[in-house]
Structure 1
Amino acid sequence: MIDFDEIIDRTGTDSLKYDGGPVMNPYLPDEYLPMWVADMDFACPQPVLDAMKERLDRRILGYSMLLDPGYFKIVTGWFWRRHGWRVDADSIVFSSGVVSAMHTAVERLTKPGDGVLLNTPAYHPFDDTIKRFGRTPVYSPLLYRDGTYTIDYEDLERKAKDPRNTLFFFCSPHNPTGRVWREEELRQVARLCFANGVFVVCDEIHSDILRKGETHIPLAKLYPEETRIITCTSPSKTFNLAGNQLANLVVADKALAREWRETQACGFPNPLSIAACKAAYTKCDEWVAQMNAYVDENFALVKRRLRVDLPKAKFSIGQGTYLAWIDLRGFGLTDRQLKERISRAGLFIEFGDEFVANGEGFVRINLACPRTLVEKAMDILASCLGETHS
């Protein structure tokens, strides 16, 4: 068994999650528990660390490219093994990250003034990217009923029919809500987009992180002949490798894939990230299984604690990601008030107003951490939001 209970000291490592707190949140005390940004507090799998060390032993870390055919066999093998998705090697394009891929997609697939669709609440770099390149974000709010989120197809269709809207950033599984979209939902989204000439960039970075019994379906798997899809994948969330800056894009249009590869449209990989990805996708299936099972228990713990200690909170466990999206609207506090109260109590999490729109009154908590930290986070929430709080 892998020890996911181990507490690893990350302070002093230039960690955004740990060392960046005072810069990111002025309400935090000197001592605080960071459970915000989406990286894990679990050690990277040992085979990944061994592969990186072996690469370091070669002693030179010069410019690198994805030149080994074996790399593509490994990546496409992972897609097949995990999702039953057959991908041609010549569809794979390197990117230094999913955000970098979004930048390239907006810059190259749209023109200034075009509208780019996204569901809200949303991962804020979607919105930032659209605005950065002088395009217009067009929000299609998700519907929230009985503790779950669904897509508002009427709203999405109306906006997809507007010829000014040419691209859709689609998040699957969805961040921050944790929804894993079902096949009928994916097909409905695809029909609305493709019938109206809307290109889909699908962020599937959380696709390996699923609750027990759940299945992720890649959108492109359902439409193998459709060329207007780019799927963004990465080992970063699954194996805690975000700082390694490597994503594998599946670009359905082979000519576009070739152009992006030849022009290095999304940058160059670093040699350690290549070694890490290969090891992760060949030697770490069992690590992923145990990690998901451990995170499942963390979700169950949060649900139990909220039910007992904070009955005003509403929480339904999502089907995917390691991010808990909790409804705190019952406390009657604004996002600013929630942020100040919870942060001053020593818990660093994220709040609904940080997710573009349609998330007010919710918080996002990262549960990819040792269970003792989850218990501590629940203690802090209970003390600062409970009935006895004054």
Structure 2
Amino acid sequence: MEIAILAPLLVLALFATLAAGLWVGFALIAVGLLAMVTSAPAPASLVFATKVWGGLTVWDLTALPMFIWMGEILVRSRLSSDMFSGLSPFTTRLPGGLLHVNVMACALFAAVSGSSAATTATVGRMSVPELGARGYDDRMIIGTLAGSGTFGFLIPPSIILIVYGAATEQSIARLFLAGVVPGLMLAALFSGYIMLWALLNRGRMPAPEPATSLGAAFRAATKLLPVLVLIVAVIGSIYAGIASPTEAAVIGVAGALLLAWTTRALSLRGVWDSLRAATITTCMISFILAGAAFLTVAMGYTGIPRQLAAWIGAMDLSPYALLAALTVFFIIMGMFLDGISIVVLTVSIILPMVMAAGIDPIWFGIFLVLVVEMSQITPPVGFNLFVLQTITGRDIFTIARYAAPFFGLLVLALAILSVFPQIALWLPGTMLNR
């Protein structure tokens, strides 16, 4: 079949299967089968079995279920309330007050969960009622939480960086290191915006919180010690070369169970529920990876990736123009697909042309995650929006409107990262090239 006919047919088939409610993994498999039947001389069943097995038997993916389980354990612990209590005394003197707790708590929780949705849900359950009761503006409560919840994708250990590393055969340790400084930069941009908004909208801010003595602040900060120790144990073991990402994930699970046990925040029923939830999430991601692995080889038989790469190559785009085009492409994709689906579905096609343009694949992984973060707060398929809809009862488009300034800050962060790529590359180059 001619590519000019086949390409639109496959795109239409993908969106039709998704619109019909078929799971993403099975939708990818269905489109792959259509591509094989119409274009490939090889037997579809044999290719399917080979590629699905190969796509799932990747050693780096063994870290995935453990990091997911660690996050599920911590979601059910007292971690979010302890973080709120520990951070709040340090923010009362800043313009914006306790709104900064959303940013800081999400950054801390992202460093031990790796999941954007888990970060948003865990911090949101604590901060939304607490900040609402203190008179903070709903627009900023929800907006800061929607934006900051995306840190779970960028700040290591990030589940989506593990998926990207496995799909592109890049070092997960380097990807984790590359995400640290951009994650801190993004948190600084969000806090800066909160301070600016608070100074320009003094009438919409509640009365200042009572000043906290330095001693009381540091006593409250002791509640942060367990999570800080867990972060150092998990991430530090990787950076120090003591443990691989998979071994660090096991350390994280053991630490999370110990933390939950010592604080008496988790029952045996809670452990079972966390294991069950982690299993469900892992299976969902595995189905997506299996479908994407099969679709990738099926697309290779069609010749569409080669034609697309040749078409973009013929346009002779500069690296900046290519990145701008890819940003628009990924934002549009993010309106309909979740982040992991976007990564596994596109990297095999996009990465060769990106590397041909001289763009570092580690840097591109961070760039891609930033763009995928935008998809978390764009309707109609924005997972953070769904989480906040459940917590607040607001409709998804209202929440998206509240999150719009933080979408703009993500775009700004993307521009800064593109102009100054060493923001992502400096730390892995320094730590791992010694």
Q: Same fold (TM over 0.5)?
A: no
* Greater helix fraction, Structure 1 or Structure 2: 2
* Greater strand fraction, Structure 1 or Structure 2: 1
